[in-house]
């Protein structure tokens, strides 16, 4: 199983960084999986510790349960957090651009089978469902993300996608017409394993790949970067810029090499 390094995308805001650093430091004191916790417990925990928001993102039409400075754990001692790092509680700029692109170009998903890999809060999977995808799978190795995705689908009046928590990277490629990767190029080892697995998916099933990334160093410096075709670029809203210190834009790229 390929595990990424510390999950701290560079260039996020000072307060998001402080938040995740605190989580990093206390990780060994916390329970690393939600095994033993019922979905009902996780649901009520998410409901109590997130805020319904989204209007300040690139996709104001999507409602999502996310961390905001109004939430208890913005100030609370992180060792009291009962789960793994809450990446599902942030709507990352790569995922925002990808979801915006899909909502603006619904034909991209119409009737397709879609895998949103590293789905986090599930926003891109939700966008695919809204745009008429025939079948959507949201995959995130954090099992809490699956519960958050279910709750976010309910907020948007949608049936949830199939949520898978296994690490699919490196596994035998399944047939998907389309794979979404929102902000998944934040770690070099992860990016490299992802790249070779994507090549296998494309070779075996002719899968199309769409990547959303705000220009992180690990993405810009990776070998896959020069093989991509830019489809769209979005200026990040002011509040997203503030939360993602130093980032101003986020782009969507198509990966479809001749293999």
Residues that bind ligand SAM in the complex, under the rule CB under 6 A: 4, 9, 87-88, 91-92, 94-95, 117-121, 123, 139-142, 145, 167, 169, 182-184, 186, 190
Residue 83's closest CA among 141, 146, 35? 35
Q: How far is the CB of 130 from ligand SAM (least distance, A)?
A: 16
**Minimum CB distance to ligand SAM, residue 205 (Å):** 18
Rounded CA separation 2/169 (Å): 7
Do 213 and 221 touch, CB atoms closer than 8 A? Answer: no
Beta bridge partners of residue 113, listed in sequence order: 135
CB of 61 to ligand SAM, least distance (A): 16
Nearer to ligand SAM, 95 or 161 (CB): 95
DSSP structural state of residue 173: P
Q: Supply the minimum distance, in Å, between the C-beta of residue 92 and ligand SAM.
A: 4
137 or 184: whose CB is closer to ligand SAM?
Answer: 184
Closer residue to ligand SAM, CB minimum distance, 152 or 258: 152
Residue with tokens 């119409």: 110
The residue behind tokens 């999986």 is: 33
- The answer to whether residues 24 and 85 touch, using CB atoms and an 8 Å cutoff, is yes
Nearest CB to ligand SAM, comparing residues 195 and 258: 195
Pick between residue 119 and residue 251 the one whose CB is nearest to ligand SAM.
Answer: 119
User: Any bridge partners for residue 53, and if so which?
Assistant: 64
**Residue 161 Cβ, how far from ligand SAM at the closest point, in Å?**
13
Nearest to 145 by CA among 61, 83, 215: 83
Provide the 3-class DSSP secondary structure of residue 234.
strand
Q: Which is nearer to ligand SAM, 166 or 258 (CB)?
A: 166
Angle between helices 123-130 and 143-155 (to 10 degrees): 40
Tokens 């990352």 belong to which residue? 92
Q: By beta-carbon distance, which residue lies closest to ligand SAM?
A: 95
Q: By the 8 A CB rule, do 151 and 127 touch? A: no
């Amino acid at each position: 199983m390929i595990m990424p390094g510390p999950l701290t995308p560079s260039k996020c805001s000072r307060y998001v960084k402080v938040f995740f650093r605190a989580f990093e430091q206390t990780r060994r004191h916390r329970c690393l999986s939600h095994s033993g916790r019922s979905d009902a417990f996780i649901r009520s925990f998410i409901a109590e510790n997130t805020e319904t928001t989204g209007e300040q993102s690139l996709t104001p039409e999507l409602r999502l349960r996310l961390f905001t400075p109004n939430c208890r754990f913005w100030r609370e001692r992180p060792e009291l957090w009962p789960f793994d790092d809450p990446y599902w509680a942030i709507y990352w700029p790569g995922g925002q651009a990808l979801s915006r692109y899909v909502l603006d170009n619904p034909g991209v998903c119409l009737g397709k089978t879609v895998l949103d890999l590293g789905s986090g809060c599930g926003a891109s999977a939700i966008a695919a469902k809204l745009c008429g995808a025939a079948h959507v799978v949201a995959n995130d190795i954090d099992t809490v993300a699956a519960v958050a995705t279910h709750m976010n689908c309910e907020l948007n009046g949608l049936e949830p996608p199939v949520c898978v928590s296994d690490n699919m990277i490196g596994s035998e490629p399944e047939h998907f017409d389309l794979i979404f990767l929102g902000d998944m190029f934040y770690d070099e080892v992860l990016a490299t394993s992802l790249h070779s697995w994507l090549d296998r998916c494309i070779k075996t099933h002719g899968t199309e790949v769409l990547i959303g990334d705000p220009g992180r160093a690990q993405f810009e410096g990776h070998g896959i970067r020069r093989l991509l075709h830019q489809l769209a670029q979005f200026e990040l809203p002011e509040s997203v810029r503030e939360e993602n210190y130093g980032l101003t834009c986020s782009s969507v790229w198509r990966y479809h090499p001749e293999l």
